[in-house]
Amino acid sequence: MTDANRKLQAACSARSEFLLPLLFIALSGVCIWQARDMSQLGAVFPTTIALVTLVAAVMRIGQLALRGVRSNVGRGRGSTPRRVLLVLAMAAWALAMPWAGFLLAGLASFVTLMLIAQHEPWTPRRLMGHLITGGVLVGCFYGLFALLLNVPLPVGRWWMG
Amino acid sequence: MELLSYALGALSPVNLGLALLGVASGIVIGALPGLSATMAVAVLVPVTFGMAPESALIMLGAIYTGAIYGGSYSAILVNTPGTPSAIATTFDGFPMAKRGDGDLAVTLSTLASVAGGLVGVLALLTLAPLLAQVALSFGPVEYFWLAIFGLTLISALSEGSTLKGFMGAGFGLLLSTIGVAVVGGDIRYTFGSQVLLGGIETVSALIGLYCIPVLIDLVATPEAHLKVDEERRGIRLREGLGHAWLGKLNLLRSASIGTVVAILPGAGGSIASLVSYSEARRAARDASSFGKGNPQGVLATEAANNATVGGGFIPTLVLGIPGTPPDAVILGALLVQGFRTGPELFTTNASITYTFVAGLFLATCLLLPLGLLIGRYAFKSIITIPKALLVPTIAFMTVIGTYAIRNSVSDVLIMLTLGVVGWLLNRYGFRPSPIVLGLILGPIAEQGFVQGFLMGRASGAIVTTFFGGPISLTIIALSVLSVFYPLLKERRARRRGHDNGSSHQEASP
């Protein structure tokens, strides 16, 4: 077997392949450290699990160091700004929900996410169609959860005086 | 004969209509991430109070059966288990949908659910008192080993690196310890936050780890969510039946596992489907194709989780101990209708028992046409809906579904955070399945371990407590087999390949 064949294929860059086990070692360390303040019964399980995770991470680093690692050059691409925007929009949605109410926050977020996910240019007809469909979908879900299933969805502190 | 008369009674137009309505509403609720079978049954139980007893029982059975099956739609089409028992369906269902076989996967899940459901109902009818005794022989230690058996699936789910699988499962297990300890009441890893006191809700975590990464990648590129074939192939029933016939042993084994696991109170459909998936993979000739869209994977998990419907009712009806959370809700409704649990199941209570079993049987049969019909519609909707509508719709379902579990905005934020962590880990080669496995099995393993430890310490024989019982030893043997059998099989195949290679070399001039 040649040296190139023996090398492990990374899921990402070779450097990041080392980074993640190090993060797991840090996480396990924090968990073991925190377990000092727990009772024996409460600490035994998380400490054991943290130790197993730590050992697995150390073994992974050893495996990478011994066999070497090849960077993955063919990783999936895509628009990072859109990914970040999606996460930010959903976080803003969750944070705004208690204040603006479920329906308003839901409608605003639906439109925002619609704009983030659209890659082709908008035409007035497509925009109208999507907005109407979005309104109907949000209305249906709201009706199902709030009216039929009696889930107490937030009304919005801003509107409660 | 008695059963036949009750079954015929169940076939009245009103009852048939209620069963249809129950199955359909169960499927829709089960398909929405965050809305579990428990919620579907709990929400619709009051509706049945005003009905005739037999109609109420038939409708409840139908809702439950439909909800357990409905979870497979979102698992296959958007990689998000609608109910926790559909987790393992994502392993092969979503890869099948990605390559353009989503319609076939939905058909397979329908066929397997019907087969599994029928096996469960049959076991309930014929073996109930006998199997209920099995539930009584399971103590904390046996539950601990059962959870460990479930965790051995990590080696099967860790694509690329088993060590990464162990790290992921460790992360999931550590997540499961957040909040108040199951035994002892310690407050762990909350870092002073009130929000984390209640721990991480499993279904919220499931939605985050499975669905948010899909959404994040969905907005990044203009390509379609699933591969769409130009040629319209309908529901592909014949092809599905072919796969089911080929995997008849797999179906039967998975349905039996589902029935037996469901008998154990608290184990539930998620463990049943994970264990049956592991066994299907272990027994398969092409184990490496599991996790990459093998139809047998979908058959195994769906047969197992629908078999838990009938299986779960065995301890519920015989012992009054609900096998799964929806069983507890239905038991309440049965008590309202005048049912009493115990040995009079098939004597004094025969009318209620047989009507209920006939209702379950009817609902399972109705699953076939309704499931295929709704499944086809769901598949068509997912592939034809533009991305600009699909993304906000899925996002809306994840947010409302997570919020509805505990009416908590914090759960939505935790779900989103776990989703981003899951996406990052996925990018670095860590699959979400071992994390989820750890999260689900963590509390069962910990409770069993700590209780077993206390029992062992009190009796002065910790080793005997954990390794002494025949059930424990059987599960330990199965766990060892589950971990090492694939390795042995691979080594044997490699050796055979090597031998063939040498004989070829010798033969060539």
Strands A69-70 and A8-9, how do they pair?
parallel
**B429·A12 Cβ contact <8 A:** yes
B21 burial type by CB count under 10 A (0-12 exposed, 13-18 middle, 19+ buried): middle
**B167·A60 Cβ contact <8 A:** yes
CA distance A27 to A29: 5
Rg from Cα positions in chain B: 23
CA distance B30 to B21: 14
Residue spans of the domains in chain A: they are 3-70, 80-160
Q: How confident is the model at residue B313 (pLDDT cuts 50, 70, 90)?
A: confident
pLDDT at position B419, please? 94
Average pLDDT over residues B409-414: 92
Print the SS3 string covering A19-47: HHHHHHHHHHHHHHHHHHHCCHHHHHHHH
Nearest to A130 among B43, B167, B389 (CB): B389
**A12·B427 Cβ contact <8 A:** yes
Nearest to A38 among B188, B400, B412 (CB): B188
Q: Suggest the residue from A86, A112, A126 to mutate for an interface test with chain B (most B CBs closer than 10 A).
A: A86
Please, how many CA atoms are within 13 Å of residue A106, restricted to the half-sphere of its CB?
Answer: 27
pLDDT at position B233, please? 64
Q: Suggest the residue from A49, A58, A64, A120 to mutate for an interface test with chain B (most B CBs closer than 10 A).
A: A49
**Two tokens at A17?**
């392949």
pLDDT at position B486, please? 66
Average pLDDT over residues B342-352: 71
Nearest to B43 among A12, A52, A149 (CB): A149
Question: Which stretches does DSSP call E strand in B364-406?
Answer: none
Range of weakest confidence among A70-74, B159-163, B198-202, B498-502: B498-502
Q: How confident is the model at residue B509 (pLDDT cuts 50, 70, 90)?
A: very low
Q: What is the DSSP letter of A121?
A: P
Amino acid identity of residue A127, one-letter, is: L
Average pLDDT over residues B101-122: 93
**A149·B403 Cβ contact <8 A:** no
Nearest to A78 among B161, B221, B396 (CB): B221
Average pLDDT over residues B344-360: 77
Rounded to two decimals, what is the model's pTM? 0.80
Chain A partners within 8 Å of B212 (Cβ): 90
Chain B partners within 8 Å of A38 (Cβ): 181, 186, 188
Listed by number, the residues of chain B in 156-195 with a beta carbon closer than 8 Å to a beta carbon of chain A are 160-161, 163-164, 166-167, 170-171, 173-174, 177, 181, 183-186, 188-189
pLDDT at position B1, please? 59
Q: Does B358 touch chain A (CB under 8 A)?
A: no
B476 burial type by CB count under 10 A (0-12 exposed, 13-18 middle, 19+ buried): middle
**A137·B393 Cβ contact <8 A:** yes
Average pLDDT over residues B478-492: 75
Average pLDDT over residues B115-124: 92
Check pLDDT > 60 for residue A2: no
Check pLDDT > 60 for residue B323: yes
Range of weakest confidence among A36-40, A106-110, B334-338: B334-338
Check pLDDT > 50 for residue B508: no
Average pLDDT over residues A27-56: 92
What's the mean per-residue pLDDT of chain B?
83
Q: Does B215 touch chain A (CB under 8 A)?
A: yes
Chain B partners within 8 Å of A145 (Cβ): 400, 404
Q: Does B148 touch chain A (CB under 8 A)?
A: no
Question: Which stretches does DSSP call E strand in B74-193?
Answer: 179-180, 187-188
CA distance B251 to B254: 5
CA distance B499 to B83: 47
Nearest to A98 among B170, B409, B446 (CB): B409
Nearest to A60 among B163, B399, B420 (CB): B163
pLDDT at position B12, please? 82
Nearest to A113 among B39, B184, B395 (CB): B395
pLDDT at position B483, please? 74
Q: Does B407 touch chain A (CB under 8 A)?
A: yes
Residue spans of the domains in chain B: they are 2-496
**Two tokens at B225?**
């969510």
Please, which residues have CB within 8 angstroms of residue B431's CB and are 6 or more apart in sequence?
B157, B158, B159, B164, B165, B168
Q: Suggest the residue from A37, A44, A90 to mutate for an interface test with chain B (most B CBs closer than 10 A).
A: A90
Check pLDDT > 80 for residue A112: yes
Q: Phi and psi of B188, rounded to 5°?
A: -120, 135
> Do the beta carbons of residue A12 and residue A64 sit within 8 Å?
no
* Percentages (nearest 5) of helix, strand, coil residues in chain B: 80, 0, 20
Q: Residues B58, B59, B63, B64: is their CA dihedral positive or negative?
A: negative
Please, which residues have CB within 8 angstroms of residue B417's CB and are 6 or more apart in sequence?
B208
Neighbours of A62 (CB within 10 A): 12
Chain A nearest C-alpha distance from B192 (Å): 12
Listed by number, the residues of chain B in 293-352 with a beta carbon closer than 8 Å to a beta carbon of chain A are none
Check pLDDT > 50 for residue B84: yes
Strands B179-180 and B187-188, how do they pair?
antiparallel
The full length of chain B comes to: 509
Q: How confident is the model at residue B230 (pLDDT cuts 50, 70, 90)?
A: low
Chain B nearest C-alpha distance from A117 (Å): 5
> Do the beta carbons of residue B277 and residue B297 sit within 8 Å?
yes
Chain A nearest C-alpha distance from B437 (Å): 14
Check pLDDT > 70 for residue B110: yes
> Do the beta carbons of residue B205 and residue B436 sit within 8 Å?
yes
Q: Residues B151, B152, B158, B159: is their CA dihedral positive or negative?
A: negative
Check pLDDT > 90 for residue B2: no
| ipTM (interface pTM) | 0.92
**A91·B188 Cβ contact <8 A:** no
> Do the beta carbons of residue B178 and residue B388 sit within 8 Å?
no
pLDDT at position B229, please? 65
pLDDT at position B355, please? 80
Q: Phi and psi of A68, rounded to 5°?
A: 85, 165
pLDDT at position B211, please? 85
pLDDT at position B160, please? 62
**B449·A44 Cβ contact <8 A:** yes
Range of weakest confidence among A122-131, B147-156, B253-262, B300-309: B147-156
Q: Suggest the residue from B176, B389, B421, B435 to mutate for an interface test with chain A (most A CBs closer than 10 A).
A: B389
**A82·B43 Cβ contact <8 A:** no
pLDDT at position B175, please? 94
Question: Which stretches does DSSP call E strand in chain A?
Answer: 8-9, 69-70
Q: What are the tens digits of pLDDT across the range B231-276?
A: 666 778 889 999 999 999 999 999 999 998 888 766 667 788 888 8
Range of weakest confidence among A30-39, B351-360, B412-421: B351-360
Average pLDDT over residues B134-151: 82
For residues B113 and B12, the model is more confident at B113
Please, which residues have CB within 8 angstroms of residue B24's CB and are 6 or more apart in sequence?
B66, B370, B374
B233 burial type by CB count under 10 A (0-12 exposed, 13-18 middle, 19+ buried): exposed
For residues B307 and B283, the model is more confident at B307
Residue where the block lists tokens 């240019």: A121
Average pLDDT over residues B108-125: 93
- Which residue of chain A has the CA closest to B173? A49
Check pLDDT > 90 for residue B115: yes
- The rounded percent of chain B whose pLDDT value lies above 70 is 91
